[in-house]
Amino acid sequence: MKKTAPLKNLLRDKAIPALTATRPYFSMAELRAWLTQRRISWSATTLNSYLHAFTNDGVVYDAGRGWYSSLAQPLTLDREHVAPVVALIEKAFPFLSFTVWSTQQINPWMHHLLGKFVTFVYVEKEGVSAVWELLKENGYDAHRDPTKKEADKSFSVRETTLVVRAGSLVQAPVDGHFARPEKILVDIAVELQVLPLMDTDEFSSLFTTTVTTGRIEIAAMLRYANRRELMDKFLRLINQLTSGNGVS
């Protein structure tokens, strides 16, 4: 076994800088692999203890269970555009489980800025029709769970375009009735299979710019991606991250 500096110093001064040199996130599994490749001994308890101390001291930042980041500031989303929709539905159906997000919220990180936006409401299946009718009555250009075939015929983005989707919120990263960025990124990837929101290159660029601008919870995003059968896609996107240079 190689003689090394104390493990805590080696982690702080060598391992973490190496793992964050090219992208701002790393997993505990990657840290363990880095140590193993260099024949440096470690124990799970010790690593967890040191990483916990490092997050408290601001050496590295928590990005969800088993993930860490060099980004100090979490990614924040503007809720002004979607707040009226949340308030409208909440008032009409105070006990309904639903969440709302809009392409307006990710517009700052788009390579080509969007001129018009689409708002999405995800709601339990039995509430779709009632929510859709409420929104139509209140002047929204609302679409009820459109399929790709239906979207190809009648979907276009107008000033008040809104899509109501049936969808379970189990394991969905939400904050009350507002979607967190981890959910929005996964939902966009799903919606691109149905709606012409942007092309795949634009989405890849959006993903990279978004998650390198501010810290997100990688673990929460991957859990949700797994539930929506997109785990492999999002693991590839994470692995392809570079520090602000786009996705290769």
Domain boundaries, the chain: 7-69, 83-239
> What's residue 247's pLDDT?
35
Q: Is the dihedral of CA 179, 183, 186, 190 positive or negative?
A: negative
Fold observed for domain 7-69 = Arc Repressor Mutant, subunit A (1.10.10)
**CATH of the domain spanning 83-239, picked from 3.30.460, 3.30.2010, 1.10.8, 1.10.3470:** 3.30.460
The reported pTM is 0.90
Q: How far apart are CA 17 and CA 21, in angstroms?
A: 6
Tens of pLDDT, residue by residue over 129-147, are 999 999 999 999 999 999 8
Provide the token pair at 199.
């092309």
pLDDT at residue 5 in the model? 59
Confidence of residue 113 (pLDDT cuts 50, 70, 90): low
CB 100 within 8 A of CB 135: no
pLDDT band at 66 (very low <50, low <70, confident <90, very high): very high
- Which pLDDT does position 1 carry in this prediction? 41
